[in-house]
Every structure is written in structure tokens, then in C-alpha cells.
Amino acid sequence: MSGALLAALVAGLGGAVAGRAVDSLALVAPRRPTTADGPVAVRLDWRARAAGAPWPELAGALGAAAVTLRFGWSAQLPAWLWFVAVGLLLAVVDLREQLLPNRVLLPGLAGGVALLALAAAVEGDWAAWGRALLAGAAAFAVLLGMALVSPSGLGMGDVKLAGLLGLFLGWLGWPVVLAGFFLGFLLQALVGLGLLAARRVGRSTGLPFGPALLVGALLAALLSGEWALPPS
């Protein structure tokens, strides 16, 4: 068995386990219920599922295997595995609730900043980390402007997600930032047109935007350079 195949297998198994966990976490991630006396503690039931097998496991396995083959056993791999896990949780929640909650976005952003800083320290590439921070802020600002112009088209969750995506794509370079958001908007348009043609939605039906943005960003990252562990 080649090293690349073994790496993909190990990462895929880990991603499938993460996908299964995400499917239960998605049930409690959107919001914390409250009463007149304040927030109510929620017990996580690992048997309950938001999406159901096999989609979260399959998405987690494919995502983890892909980023492992793309970035190899490098210092930045933990950050990209974190991106896959957080992104999968956000996608499941958004598809189910049409919501991108701060309870996931903010820890996801903080973890991304910390893990990319660790990668910058190990690889001695603080310029990439600085560019990532700048790209995250720029993406947030651009989508915030779009949301203010067209509040019905974008929500604040989408704006905050743009900051997270800009952070990770900015690590790879400004062209990757542009490609990632272009692919995200393109995917959303194609999905919308397909559902409209199939008469599954109407012209005024709101669709979750997070999954398309996340898939577009992941595709841009995977296509942005040579894979460190090319399949043989």
C-alpha cells in the first residue's frame, strides 16, 4: 500500500468518525434554549442525528482524505482538518435550520487563527498568516457591504462565514480567495437554477448559502497547488 493511499485511508476513517459526531452536534449547535430564568442546559444525545447516515460520514471522510493528500503531513494540515470539521458542522446546521450560529462560527474562527499561527511558527511563514488575517477581514467587509445593500440575499451568518473562509483561503494567496468565493457563488447559482427548473423551489424561496460557500472554498484550496501526497 502506497504512503498516499494509507494517509487517505487513515484520514478518511477519522473524517467519518468526525462526520458522525457532527451529525449529533448539529442538533444542539444552532442555539441554546432559554427560559425566563436564563439559559437551559442541553444534554447531547449521541444516538440522535440531524441528517442521518451516510452523508455526514461520507462528507467527513472525503474532506479529511482530500486535505490530507493536498497538504501532506505538514504543519498546516491540522488547520485544514479543523476547517473540514467546522465546515461540515456549519453545512449540516445551515441545511437543517438555514442558520450559521455564532456558537460554531466564533470558535471555528478562533481555532483557525490559532492553528494557522502554529503552522506559521513551524514553517517560518508569518507573511502567510498576516495575509490570512487580512483576507479574512477583507472578505468579511465585502460581504457585509453586500448584505447591507441586499439584506434579503445575505444574512450576518454568511458575512461571518466569509471571514472564516477568507482566513483559510488567504493563507494560500489572494488568487485563491477570489477563486473560492467565485466558486461558492457559482455553485449557489447552479443549485438555485436546478431546484427552480425541477420546481422544488420558487423564485422567492430562500436557500442556505453556507454549504455552497464552504464547498467552493474547499475546492479552491484543493485546486490551488500540487498535492503533497499525489495518489499513485
DSSP string, 99-139: ---HHHHHHHHHHHHHHHHHHHHHHT-HHHHHHHHHHHHHH
Residue 4 is predicted with a pLDDT of 78
Query: Which residue in the block uniquely carries the three cell numbers 471571514?
Result: 163
The helix/strand/coil state of 15 is helix
Residue 34 is predicted with a pLDDT of 58
Residue 231 is predicted with a pLDDT of 63
Residue 138 is predicted with a pLDDT of 97
Residue 20 is predicted with a pLDDT of 95
Residue 8 is predicted with a pLDDT of 85
**65 close to 11: Cβ distance less than 8 angstroms:** yes
Q: Answer yes or no: pTM beyond 0.85.
A: yes
Residue 119 is predicted with a pLDDT of 97
Residue 204 is predicted with a pLDDT of 66
Residue 142 is predicted with a pLDDT of 96
Name 141's bridge partners. Answer: none
Distance (Å, whole) CA 162 – CA 147? 12
Task: Label residues 35-73 b or e (16+ Cβ within 10 Å = b).
Answer: eeeeeeeeeeeeeebbbeeeebbebbbbbbbbbbbbbbe
Residue 112 is predicted with a pLDDT of 98
**168 close to 130: Cβ distance less than 8 angstroms:** no
Per-domain residue ranges of the chain: 3-223
What's phi and psi for 35, nearest 5 deg? -125, -175
The alpha carbon of 35 is separated from its chain's Cα centroid by a whole number of angstroms, namely 31
Distance (Å, whole) CA 112 – CA 92? 19
Residue 113 is predicted with a pLDDT of 98
In the chain, what are the helix, strand and coil shares in percent, each to the nearest 5? 70, 0, 30
Average pLDDT by stretches of 10, the chain with 232 residues: 79 95 90 59 76 91 96 94 97 93 96 98 95 98 92 87 98 97 95 80 77 97 88 60
